Amino acid sequence: LQQPMYIFLSMLAASDLGLCASTFPTMVRLFWLGARELPFDLCAAQMFFIHAFTYVESGVLLAMAFDRIVAIRDPLHYATILTHSAMAKVGAAILVRAVVLNLPGPMLLRHLLFPQISVLSHCYCLHCDLVGLACSDTQINSLVGLVSILLSLGLDSCLIVLSYTLILRTVLGLASPGERLKALNTCVSHLCIVLIFYLPKLGLSVLHRVEKHSYPALAVLMANLHFLVPPFMNPIVYCIKS
């Protein structure tokens, strides 16, 4: 259990728990208790933690992709490259990046003017949703949000695709079909949770830009599922694989 992959899995589990803890209170308030009002400070805090834990999970998935690259391309130096100190530094870097990228959002929101009664699109607070409700100029907020996404989810997804391109090149260079299958088999679980993490976000993004107003119930359902499905499926995927 002290192998790098299991340590990365513990980081993934921690980010999943943090994301659930961030979204669960308002879901319970809304669906169970029928409470439909949320103070601005609480909403801004929830927005920060939701985005921070999402970026942490994305960073952990990237770190796990790097783990697979080293394991397949340079297995003899695996233990010397991915030491406990190296993984601690990676974990700290992922956490610091998530905090730094999300700190400006709540601070800039305090300078915006909002209507007396603002209705959110979801049962939790997201940066794009809050910025869309503001009555004042939101260009800086939108720019900060875009840069934050590009430096986290955008960069991570591109690097994960690059890592699997390198893995495929290495695997296709193996002589035996059995060795190729064995090497690819070590990546199946990680590839599954990457798809589980990114595909719902992509689907929700497309829905918001195309048919959000035509199918509002579908938009709300997708918004809830894209936070609930990954923490639910990740343990199942890795338990079955293990």
Structure tokens at 68: 């697979």
Show the 3-state SS of 69-81. Answer: HHHHHCHHHHHHH
- Per-residue confidence (pLDDT) for residue 53, from 0 to 100: 95
Whether 68 contacts 163, CB under 8 Å: yes
- Per-residue confidence (pLDDT) for residue 50, from 0 to 100: 92
> How many whole angstroms from its chain centre is CA 18?
11
Instruction: Give the Å distances, CA to CA, from 217 to 75, 122, 220, 223.
Output: 49, 10, 5, 10
Q: CA quadruple 139, 140, 142, 147: dihedral positive or negative?
A: positive
The DSSP result for 139-206, as a single string, is: HHHHHHHHHHHIIIIIHHHHHHHHHHHHHHHHHHT-S-HHHHHHHHHTTHHHHHHHHHHHHHHHHHHH
* Distance in angstroms (rounded) separating the CA atoms of residues 165 and 76: 21
* Distance in angstroms (rounded) separating the CA atoms of residues 81 and 62: 16
How many residues does this entry show for the chain? 242
- Per-residue confidence (pLDDT) for residue 124, from 0 to 100: 84
Structure tokens at 162: 């690059």
- Per-residue confidence (pLDDT) for residue 96, from 0 to 100: 97
pTM of full prediction above 0.75:
yes
Helix (H, G, I), strand (E, B) or coil at 186: coil
Structure tokens at 183: 């090497």
- Per-residue confidence (pLDDT) for residue 111, from 0 to 100: 85
- Per-residue confidence (pLDDT) for residue 1, from 0 to 100: 55
Triad 169, 11, 76: Cα angle to 5°: 40
Block means of pLDDT (10 residues each) for the chain, 242 residues, are: 82 93 85 83 90 95 93 88 92 96 90 80 82 84 90 93 92 81 86 90 71 68 82 88 72
- Per-residue confidence (pLDDT) for residue 239, from 0 to 100: 83
Task: Specify the DSSP class assigned to residue 213.
Answer: T
Q: What residue spans of 32-136 are helical by DSSP H?
A: 40-73, 78-81, 84-102, 104-109, 127-133
Domains of the chain by start residue, with CATH: 4-175 (1.20.1070.10)
